[in-house]
């Protein structure tokens, strides 16, 4: 995935990394959990969520006064994301994460459970120590939505009658909620007006959808070498993403895709099946229409930016959504 | 296990249960996670930790003024305990919990991960909503210790050279830390002096050790029918508890127990082996000396109670430690 956020808000990232280091200092050296935490926190994550939080805070009136507070919150949203990745790997039994062996695969369930729980306890601790209750409550609600999204997705696995509405609900929980929380927190803490906060939160919503839809498309088309995992991992695991669901809703789509879904559930998909399925979905317009939805969110995000007061950061945000919307 | 806390602080329990119900109301009905949450929150748990919190608060000067606040905190410590049980079951792969099939066994890893995470997000949310930052920070630190204890225990599994010090550290994290947190929170929130808070926290420490040591002894001797799990489950899983460790430290103990530990690691223990091992540990004094340690903590707890100002609740607490110390 291209570095959408590269060079944007780079000057803040080092500060945020410092806080992550401080907030996650732990007594588990030499244990699998210690290794998990070292892995998770040292990985060259793109820091997308804290970067977004910092960028959005440029719309506020008191941004400079609350700089350190924002860095700390940036660290905490990234820790939230890390905790969710670690716990997701338990559920998925995924062998890879970010191109490296997954925590769960490498260190076992126990290490993954407690590394995630440890991060969550530190998040709570520092939010309360810093008196960041308002932002903390927004974040807790986002975590709750993340649970709901993951559960919704688990319930839909291998179900051939998943609706597009259900799919969108699931990715809203899994991904979009935390993007929205980052925007709301960045805007609120930097002193934006209630109207601007709501607009920026909606901007985060568009961005979150674009991000996840792109990610789903990426899984649908990319080779192992680029994403670090096999292409079509979702389909293999019975997670039918938008391209598949859109194709399935076309005349004849249901019948055409059924044999592949049946094989996926039975675990008997071959490489050839995957190629055929991909061809079929493309032919039925599943991929183009997913791009259409990405572009709908892009337009919406652009309109929201137009309506916001102009700031130096506005052009960076415009570029960012441009990159996310580029085919 | 006898109902140590029965009738003590019963009048509060209904209020606390109401708050648990309110704080855990969820949108997951009809999903495995919803079932897990229903199971966990409806189970007739003994509510030991919130009861302890309420009892300890009787030493405070402003207890009546903060009654509702205490109920809410009681609900939150019980939710913390529930979340830890749910996540522990993932790690243990335990087929039973409280005599019923475990969450993990019945509903799978996914439901257990997200039910635990959901409870943790609600705990954070309500702590911050209610501005319970001081108590929340104590609780977060206890959760961190719980992670450390579980990790320590995992590291010690099937290790024949576990020291008594390591064992005590592990149970401190696993169990004692949350008992201490309940006492500190109950004392602090009800307006006790710093000295009384510290004394009550130490009382909680003694109680926590007594509780866990008794639990370990129970696993060491009881039949399936009473505890709802096979006796000697710990030994079978390579968790060598105090009776074993004490016996092992006796002259000839190491050599005598080695074959059984070896079989435990290899998974080849027979019912007869278990009987022999139990006989051996009893003969070497492992059980009596575990009782001795329980009684040491009992005496310490009694001395702490003596030193505290006299309250109506004092005699209940004395009875409680009497029951925990009764062979």
Listed residue (A103, A134, A129, A133) closest to A31, CA to CA:
A103
Q: State residue B225's pLDDT score.
A: 44
Tokens 């696995």 found at = A157
Q: A110 — contact with chain B (CB < 8 Å)?
A: yes
CATH of domain A10-325: 1.10.600.10
Listed residue (B85, B12, B49) closest to B177, CA to CA:
B49
Q: B38 — contact with chain A (CB < 8 Å)?
A: no
CA separation for the pair A294, A296 (Å, rounded)? 5
Q: Are A304 and A285 in contact (CB under 8 A)?
A: no
The residue of chain A nearest to residue B133, with distances taken between CA atoms, is: A128
Q: A149 — contact with chain B (CB < 8 Å)?
A: no
Dihedral of alpha carbons A251, A257, A261, A263, sign? positive
Q: Tell me the chain A residues in contact with residue B148 when contact means C-beta distances shorter than 8 Å.
A: 27-28
The number of C-beta contacts closer than 8 angstroms across A and B is 133
- Whether residues A148 and B27 touch (CB distance < 8 A) is answered with yes
Q: A90 — contact with chain B (CB < 8 Å)?
A: yes
Q: State residue B31's pLDDT score.
A: 83
CA separation for the pair B242, B217 (Å, rounded)? 8
Dihedral angle over CA of A253, A254, A258, A260, nearest 10: 30
DSSP code of residue A308: S
CA separation for the pair A109, B89 (Å, rounded)? 11
Dihedral of alpha carbons B227, B231, B237, B238, sign? positive
Domains of chain A: which residue ranges? 10-325
Q: Tell me the chain B residues in contact with residue A90 when contact means C-beta distances shorter than 8 Å.
A: 90, 109, 113
Q: B238 — contact with chain A (CB < 8 Å)?
A: no
Q: State residue A227's pLDDT score.
A: 45
Q: Tell me the chain A residues in contact with residue B154 when contact means C-beta distances shorter than 8 Å.
A: 31-32, 110-111
CA separation for the pair A247, A245 (Å, rounded)? 5
Q: How do the pLDDT tens digits run along chain A, 327 residues long?
A: 445 565 556 789 999 999 999 999 998 888 888 888 888 887 667 899 999 999 999 999 887 789 999 999 999 999 999 999 999 888 765 555 555 666 666 778 888 899 999 999 999 999 999 999 999 999 999 999 999 999 899 889 999 999 999 999 999 999 999 999 999 999 999 999 999 999 999 999 999 999 999 999 988 875 544 444 568 889 999 999 999 999 999 999 999 999 999 999 999 999 899 999 999 999 999 999 999 999 999 999 999 999 999 999 999 999 999 999 998
Q: B76 — contact with chain A (CB < 8 Å)?
A: no
- Whether residues B137 and A129 touch (CB distance < 8 A) is answered with yes
Q: B31 — contact with chain A (CB < 8 Å)?
A: yes
Q: Tell me the chain A residues in contact with residue B33 when contact means C-beta distances shorter than 8 Å.
A: 147, 151
SS (H, E, C) A58-69: HHCCCHHHHHHH
Helix (H) or strand (E) segment spanning residue B96: strand B96-97
Q: B113 — contact with chain A (CB < 8 Å)?
A: yes
A142, B15, B18, B120 from B22: Cα distances, Å: 19, 11, 6, 15
* A110 closest CB neighbour out of B113, B146, B154: B154
- Whether residues B120 and A118 touch (CB distance < 8 A) is answered with no
DSSP code of residue B57: G
Total length of chain A: 327
Q: At what angle do helices B177-189 and B48-56 cross, to 10 degrees?
A: 40
Q: State residue A49's pLDDT score.
A: 96
Q: State residue B101's pLDDT score.
A: 67
Listed residue (A13, A38, A19, A12) closest to A27, CA to CA:
A38
Interface test with A, best of B143, B151, B153 (most A CBs within 10 A): B151
Q: Locate B262 and state its tokens.
A: 């070896």
A63, A74, B135 from A69: Cα distances, Å: 10, 9, 22
The residue of chain B nearest to residue A133, with distances taken between CA atoms, is: B128
Ranges of residues in chain B with a pLDDT under 50 are 1-2, 224-228
Q: Are A179 and A206 in contact (CB under 8 A)?
A: no
Q: Which residues contact A125 (CB under 8 A, 6 or more apart)?
A: B136, B137, B140, B141, B144
Q: State residue B111's pLDDT score.
A: 85
Q: B114 — contact with chain A (CB < 8 Å)?
A: yes
């Amino acid at each position: 995935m291209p570095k959408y956020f590269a060079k944007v808000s780079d000057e803040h990232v080092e500060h945020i990394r410092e806080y992550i280091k401080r907030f996650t200092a732990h007594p588990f050296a030499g244990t699998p959990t210690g290794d998990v935490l070292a892995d998770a926190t040292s990985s060259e994550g793109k820091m997308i969520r804290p970067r977004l939080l910092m960028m959005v805070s440029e719309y506020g009136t008191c941004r400079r006064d609350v700089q350190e507070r924002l860095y700390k919150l940036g660290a905490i949203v990234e820790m939230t994301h890390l905790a969710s990745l670690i716990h997701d790997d338990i559920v998925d039994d995924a062998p890879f994460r970010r191109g490296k062996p997954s925590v769960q695969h490498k260190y076992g369930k126990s290490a993954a459970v407690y590394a995630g729980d440890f991060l969550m306890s530190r998040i709570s601790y520092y939010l309360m120590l810093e008196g960041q209750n308002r932002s903390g409550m927004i974040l807790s609600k986002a975590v709750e939505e993340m649970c709901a999204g993951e559960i919704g997705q688990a319930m839909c696995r291998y179900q051939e009658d998943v609706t597009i509405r259900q799919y969108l609900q699931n990715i809203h929980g899994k991904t979009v909620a935390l993007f929205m929380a980052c925007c709301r927190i960045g805007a609120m803490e930097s002193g934006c007006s209630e109207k601007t906060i709501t607009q920026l939160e909606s901007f985060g919503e568009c961005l979150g959808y674009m991000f996840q839809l792109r990610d789903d498309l990426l899984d649908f088309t990319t080779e192992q070498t680029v994403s670090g995992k096999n292409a079509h991992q979702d389909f293999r695991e019975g997670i039918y993403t938008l391209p598949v669901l859109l194709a399935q809703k076309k005349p004849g789509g249901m019948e055409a895709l059924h044999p592949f879904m049946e094989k996926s559930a039975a675990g008997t998909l071959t490489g050839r099946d995957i190629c055929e399925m991909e061809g079929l979905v493309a032919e039925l317009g599943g991929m183009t229409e997913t791009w259409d939805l990405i572009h709908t969110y892009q337009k919406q995000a652009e309109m929201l930016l137009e309506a916001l007061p102009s700031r130096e950061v506005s052009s960076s945000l415009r570029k960012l959504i441009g990159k996310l919307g580029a085919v």
